[in-house]
Amino acid sequence: MHKIIIRLNFSHLKNETHVQCHENIIGIFERYDPADMGFEPLFVVYKTAYGYEVLALDLIRKSEITEQINVQDRVRDGLFRGLAETIQGSTHHYDPAVATAATLLSDIFKHYGNIARKTLDDETAAINDLLRELAFPAAAAAVTTLNVGAWVTKLTQANATFTDLMTERYQETAAQTPYRMSTTRRDTDRYYHSIVGLLEGQQMVGNHVADALIRDLNAVLERYKRILAQELAERIPPPPPNAENDTEDADEN
């Protein structure tokens, strides 16, 4: 019976975890000898792309801007969460006008979900989209009704500061190396998936060595699926203060 190669969403892994995961995968491929398995040319470019990714990560680690970026990311996460909770807390306001305005904004925020789980660049884009949506007449009026304009302003400023820091780091990295983390990660993943395609093809012709390689590969992928689940859980903000009460009300009904 052929073994199915476990799928892992590499794009959601943190940079350090992404590098570690591919390092383990490369170790497995080398143990089974890519030349004997028939994917040595692909393995060479895969390993080369991985090497560029390691170089890019080393530069990021050495960058003084990186810690500023991490701090600023936590700032904007906190502002987004605080604004969302403030809006959600007003959906049951005694004043119907306030409750209606809060519900309108709450629906907008639900569309964006938990942005803290997104990659840094995706989160930046999501916040920019959200801010543009909050500037539409109906949403802007609701912001005024709830008196949360200061929250919106702070979030706008925090996201702009974050964008400036990211741009500064890109410029710093570009001055030292032609390799950017986002590009090298995509290249590493692309070559890996090409090798996986060849391995799956070999299974179809009854290559038992491919079965054994895939068994060991799956053990690594399964471990990193658990690591990814843990990383995603760490990025999930706590529920709004009234979430527990809402659940209890639903149970009573």
Q: Under 8 Å CB-to-CB from 188, ≥6 apart: which residues? A: 18, 22, 46, 49, 50, 53
Q: How far is CA 164 from CA 167, 169, 186, 232, in A?
A: 5, 9, 24, 25
- CA torsion 46-48-50-53 (nearest 10°) is -140
Which amino acid is located at 47 in the chain? K
- CA pair distance 121, 187, nearest whole angstrom: 18
Q: How far is CA 223 from CA 11, 90, 120, 197, in A?
A: 16, 42, 24, 21
- CA pair distance 228, 20, nearest whole angstrom: 12
Q: What percent of the chain has pLDDT over 90?
A: 58
* pLDDT of amino acid 175: 62
Q: Which two tokens stand for residue 137?
A: 């007449």
* pLDDT of amino acid 44: 95
Question: How do the pLDDT tens digits run along the chain, 253 residues long?
Answer: 456 889 999 988 989 999 999 999 999 999 998 988 889 999 999 999 999 999 888 877 776 788 899 899 999 999 999 999 999 999 999 999 999 999 999 999 998 888 888 888 889 999 999 999 999 999 999 999 999 999 999 999 999 999 999 888 777 766 666 678 888 999 999 999 999 988 888 765 556 778 889 899 999 999 999 999 887 776 655 555 454 444 444 443 3
Q: Taking the model in full, what pTM does it have?
A: 0.54
DSSP string, 175-244: HH-S--HHHHHHHHHHHHHHHHHHHHHHHHTT-HHHHHHHHHHHHHHHHHHHHHHHHHHHHSPPPPTTHH
* pLDDT of amino acid 26: 96
For the segment 5-15, what is each residue's pLDDT rounded down to a tens digit? 899 999 889 89
For the segment 142-195, what is each residue's pLDDT rounded down to a tens digit? 999 999 999 999 999 999 999 999 888 777 766 666 678 888 999 999 999 999
